Amino acid sequence: MKSSKLALSRRIRTTPFESRVLEQGPKVFSVYNHMTLASVYRSPQEDYEHLCTHVQLWDVSVERQVEVVGPDALALVELITPRDISRCAIGQCVYAPLVDEHGGIVNDPIILRLADDRFWISIADSDVLLWLKGITYGSGMEVKVFEPDVSPLAVQGPRADELMAEVVGPEVREIKFFRFIETEIVGTPVYLARSGWSGQGGFEIYLQDSSKGIELWDAIWKKGQAFNIRAGCPNLIERLESGLMSYGSDMTLENNPIECGLERFLNLDKPAEYMSREALDKIIRNGVDKLKVNLMIEGGPQSAPRATFDVVSQDGIKVGIVTSLAYSKKHAANLAFAVVTTEFATPGCSLKVVTEKGERVAIVKDRNWK
Amino acid sequence: MKSSKLALSRRIRTTPFESRVLEQGPKVFSVYNHMTLASVYRSPQEDYEHLCTHVQLWDVSVERQVEVVGPDALALVELITPRDISRCAIGQCVYAPLVDEHGGIVNDPIILRLADDRFWISIADSDVLLWLKGITYGSGMEVKVFEPDVSPLAVQGPRADELMAEVVGPEVREIKFFRFIETEIVGTPVYLARSGWSGQGGFEIYLQDSSKGIELWDAIWKKGQAFNIRAGCPNLIERLESGLMSYGSDMTLENNPIECGLERFLNLDKPAEYMSREALDKIIRNGVDKLKVNLMIEGGPQSAPRATFDVVSQDGIKVGIVTSLAYSKKHAANLAFAVVTTEFATPGCSLKVVTEKGERVAIVKDRNWK
């Protein structure tokens, strides 16, 4: 099954921008956090080229927020991630894998610090709300956890600064990477962050009132005409080139952040209590038997697998699986994320991938595809 | 948006029966618990007629299981629902709304008791696994919570008994409603329960080894030829006629079980501790300001809403919303579930529904559409 028709019901929630998204005629949708997410507009390649050259407007309402507020807010947010959140300033956001007491990854959100005792967890595709409600209830922590009426709209691409300077003012150019400001657009308060799920630069606008969705979209769309704006969405080719993993595809609760190569985002010695400390200590002490790698697969375009392709050694023994795949014209090769036995996880290592079209040579690359 | 193409990736999990499902050519899929669920094969009406006359095989792997096992298993399962689970015998299953400490519905699963200290929670569409992991971690309860390799396959329809007697043996006829037995099919252990998400009777087979999915499907399919078997799936028309609500569509975390009319499934005075006791006591004391009702909407077939249709009083004032809708030939009317202000929730009350085709008369009916 490559694609099929999507049946819709109230259970798969609408977004505040949905009618405008539909006007732009996306070809396929995904479902993410019980909500629709456009996945391709023209073709993955056309969308990619436009994203890397101009500016795009992305309905990423599916990045639902879990608000954590109250006296124990920092303690709770510290508890659920091995990243040191005490270092996160108000107005800053950090990428923070959420890890359970066994070392399993629950989600890999961006955490925004809105105040000393108030955070938004901008989540990937799993019900973090229920997890935090459970921990809070069980532990008796003094904190409120809920999903606020917040829907992010992303402006991504090399011309995002020019466009947002037109929409908001020149001060947007001063926003540093993974920092945000409070401002207003179309008279409604928004947080404006320099962030987004691409490597092309840009902003995420956190709308806090669904009823203003169309007005917000239209205001940016109108100013965007001068910059050749198009509707867009997270792009598979671009995210592979930029090394962005997708929760549920490239990592799940079955994976730990060490084998997923996320150590650089962790502060394992942080002072605060966190639930995965013992488990991660043990994992590091014992070493991991598999690792996430970047694989460059030779030959022409190979469609992405529905399930997974096996990775095999030169001897034909299965040593791992491919978790995401796309053809990159820039590299003239298929780029893939895979998880392979540790001994084969060294850049330069030559492996094979069993695709639908047969075996292909695959070379392990470093994080920058070198 | 009525329907669109579904983009697939590893994040939207495959089922053990998927290749066989695809051979039967379903027209649309939904996504449920991060997994594919066929939603229509021929047409909702054709599927409905066949389901009510013959027997169907449903891939309901999306009914993921959350296993709860250990010394505190019963205490945990009691904690999360106002239903008295101590009364549930080994080999029995019960419908049990899960309710949080504010009275909000987290999910509405079937709970199977496998042993004194071992349960499966067969879930609707939300990550109950994360909720229970959170409560367990926070409270320090002595219990293991995980998603086992279990995929239910349902056999539904009036000829289900005949078919399963052929597949397993005549003893299946003795299984009482919401009871299950341990048995083997194609040499693999399964639980066989008299249950399923339709009012047409039948069984759910809990496969415990994904690698046996195709063999299990094929064995039933082959014997099913004599009974005019077809692949099927939960059917919107049938579930409305049978009064089956869908979590996420007809109730969410924003709703409590009292306003959803679920009181008959609760044992609010049960001896065990449960987290929603105080909240539900208060809700009952204060009364609810809205109630779930069955609405019969006059006029010809009306397509189901993408979002929601408003329900208005004779004076044209909005008094509620429609949450599910399908046209029933049997009743020669559109059947809908709706939530309306309590004063309009009495059977016989005449309201109006604002459809895409204009206002239509809608009469409140009782649970049996009388």
Q: Are B314 and B352 in contact (CB under 8 A)?
A: yes
Chain centroid to CA B136 = 25
B273 reaches A (C-beta below 8 A):
no
Give the pLDDT score at B208: 98
CB-closest option in A28, A34, A100 to B248: A34
CA distance, residue B320 to nearest chain A CA (Å): 15
pLDDT at A306 over 80: no
At A57-101, the pLDDT tens digits run 999 999 999 999 999 999 999 999 999 999 999 999 999 999 999
Q: Are B245 and B255 in contact (CB under 8 A)?
A: no
Whether residue B57 lies inside any domain: the answer is yes
Nearest alpha-carbon partner for B4 in A15, A32, A29? A29
Give the pLDDT score at A2: 52
Roughly how many angstroms between the first and final C-alpha of chain A, as a whole number?
33
Based on the domain organization, do A42 and A123 belong to the same domain? Answer: no
Residue A139: closest C-alpha in chain B = B138
Give the pLDDT score at B299: 87
Q: Which of residues 167-206 of B touch A (CB under 8 A)?
A: none
Based on the domain organization, do A100 and A41 belong to the same domain? Answer: no
Q: Which helix (H) or strand (E) holds A341?
A: strand A333-341
Whether residue B24 lies inside any domain: the answer is yes
Based on the domain organization, do B167 and B233 belong to the same domain? Answer: yes
Cα separation, A67 vs A133, in Å, equals 11
Give the pLDDT score at B3: 55
CA distance, residue A175 to nearest chain B CA (Å): 33
pLDDT at A234 over 80: yes
Give the pLDDT score at A290: 98
Based on the domain organization, do A189 and A92 belong to the same domain? Answer: no
| pTM for the predicted model, two decimal places | 0.97
Q: Which of residues 124-143 of A touch B (CB under 8 A)?
A: 125-141
**Mean confidence (pLDDT) of chain A:** 96
Cα separation, B307 vs B322, in Å, equals 9
Residue A9: closest C-alpha in chain B = B306
- Split into its structural domains, chain A has a count of 3
Q: How confident is the model at residue A310 (pLDDT cuts 50, 70, 90)?
A: very high
Asked if B39 lies within 8 A of A305 by C-beta distance, the reply is no
Asked if B137 lies within 8 A of A100 by C-beta distance, the reply is yes
B277 reaches A (C-beta below 8 A):
no
Sheet bearing A35-40, strands edge to edge: A35-40, A28-32, B3-7, A3-7, B28-32, B35-40
Q: In sequence order, which residues have a C-beta less than 8 Å from that of residue B174 and are 6 or more positions away?
A: none
CATH number of the domain within which A306 lies:
2.40.30.110
Report the residue of A2, A3, A4 to disrupt the B interface, i.e. the one with the largest count of B CBs within 10 Å: A4
CB-closest option in B5, B10, B246 to A11: B246
Query: Domain ends where: B220, B240, B260?
Result: B240
Whether residue B169 lies inside any domain: the answer is yes
CA atoms within 13 A on the CB side of B237: 22
Place of tokens 């991630």: A81
Q: Are B82 and B266 in contact (CB under 8 A)?
A: yes
Based on the domain organization, do A169 and A217 belong to the same domain? Answer: yes
Whether residue B127 lies inside any domain: the answer is no
Based on the domain organization, do B272 and B186 belong to the same domain? Answer: no
Based on the domain organization, do B186 and B57 belong to the same domain? Answer: yes
CATH number of the domain within which B352 lies:
3.30.1360.120
Asked if B131 lies within 8 A of A134 by C-beta distance, the reply is yes
Based on the domain organization, do A137 and A269 belong to the same domain? Answer: yes
CB-closest option in A10, A253, A307 to B307: A10
pLDDT in tens, chain B (370 residues): 555 788 888 999 999 999 999 999 999 999 999 999 999 999 999 999 999 999 999 999 999 999 999 999 999 999 999 999 999 999 999 999 999 999 999 999 999 999 999 999 999 999 999 999 999 999 999 999 999 999 999 999 999 999 999 999 999 999 999 999 999 999 999 999 999 999 999 999 999 999 999 999 999 999 999 999 999 999 999 999 999 999 999 999 999 999 999 999 999 999 999 999 999 999 999 999 999 999 999 988 887 666 679 999 999 999 999 999 999 999 999 999 999 999 999 999 999 999 888 899 999 999 999 9
Show residues of chain B in contact with A29, CB under 8 Å.
4-7
Whether residue A216 lies inside any domain: the answer is yes
* Cα dist from A337 to B193, B208, B300, whole Å: 41, 30, 52
Alpha helices in chain A (DSSP H): 18-23, 44-53, 73-79, 128-139, 160-167, 213-224, 236-241, 277-286
Query: Domain ends where: B240, B261, B278?
Result: B240
Based on the domain organization, do A135 and A170 belong to the same domain? Answer: no
Based on the domain organization, do A233 and A155 belong to the same domain? Answer: yes
Whether residue B340 lies inside any domain: the answer is yes
Whether residue B137 lies inside any domain: the answer is no
Give the pLDDT score at B4: 75
B98 reaches A (C-beta below 8 A):
no
Q: Are A83 and A267 in contact (CB under 8 A)?
A: yes
Show residues of chain A in contact with B306, CB under 8 Å.
8, 14
At A237-264, the pLDDT tens digits run 999 999 999 999 999 999 999 999 999 9
Cα separation, B148 vs A262, in Å, equals 27
Nearest alpha-carbon partner for B8 in A22, A251, A39, A125? A39
Give the pLDDT score at B62: 98
Show residues of chain A in contact with B304, CB under 8 Å.
9
CA distance, residue B14 to nearest chain A CA (Å): 7
Whether residue A273 lies inside any domain: the answer is yes
CA distance, residue B103 to nearest chain A CA (Å): 13
Please calculate the CA angle B197-B180-B37 and round it to the nearest 5 degrees.
Answer: 30
Based on the domain organization, do B156 and B25 belong to the same domain? Answer: yes
- Amino acid (1-letter code) at residue B282: K
Based on the domain organization, do A202 and A333 belong to the same domain? Answer: no
- Structural domain of B269: 243-365
Q: How confident is the model at residue A169 (pLDDT cuts 50, 70, 90)?
A: very high
